[in-house]
Amino acid sequence: MNQVRTTTRRGLLRSMGVALGAAALVAGTAGRSTAGSRVAGASDADVELVLLHGTKADRPAIPKDFPELANPPFNAYNHYEVLSSKKLALLKDKTATEALPDGSSLETTLRDREKGDKFKLEIVVKDGKGAQVSRGKYTAGRGARFMPVTLPYKGGILVVSLKVL
């Protein structure tokens, strides 16, 4: 009977240890997100990423939401098509990486949020081999659209457009 009681006590202690360890793990990670995790409503800033392909064509076309494409330097191309549009949920100091259609990648990082809904973003573009092609820091207000980089793409250009939502 003594042996049964010892086994039960050991099992109970082991179960309590596992439960306490799990509770500590949950408590230690509560409120923290890992890089790449995007939980709806848990972002520090939402940014709309739109990729456009500009070419020279007989039939000019500029998407109505992008009148700035009619001005230099973008007016070197007269036909633009939206390739994709995506909402990025950014967490402060966590990098969101998106693959671009030309094989390169776009890394967007929220660095800070200032008073008056101004957001400081860092944008890095890397080629298909991981070498940095472009890097810049931008401050944009809510609703502001900016086009930090263009890349050669299929006989025209790939325009990266970002808008803080």
In tens digits, the chain (165 residues) has pLDDT values of 445 444 444 444 444 444 434 333 333 333 333 344 344 457 899 999 999 999 999 999 999 999 999 999 999 999 999 999 999 999 999 999 999 999 999 999 999 998 888 999 999 999 999 999 999 999 999 999 999 999 999 999 999 999 999
Q: Exposed/middle/buried for 152, CB within 10 Å: 0-12, 13-18, 19+?
A: exposed
d(CA 93, CA 109): 6
* 12 close to 121: Cβ distance less than 8 angstroms: no
* Domain ranges within the chain, ordered by starting residue: 1-32, 45-164
Q: Which two tokens stand for residue 110?
A: 């929220």
Q: Which two tokens stand for residue 154?
A: 């299929």
Q: What are phi and psi of 7, to 5 degrees?
A: -60, -45
Which of 41, 42, 23, 21 is CA-nearest to residue 31? 42
Task: Quote the pLDDT of residue 117.
Answer: 87
d(CA 47, CA 142): 9
| Number of residues written out for the chain | 165
Would you give the DSSP letter of residue 7?
A: H
* 52 close to 156: Cβ distance less than 8 angstroms: no
d(CA 18, CA 45): 37
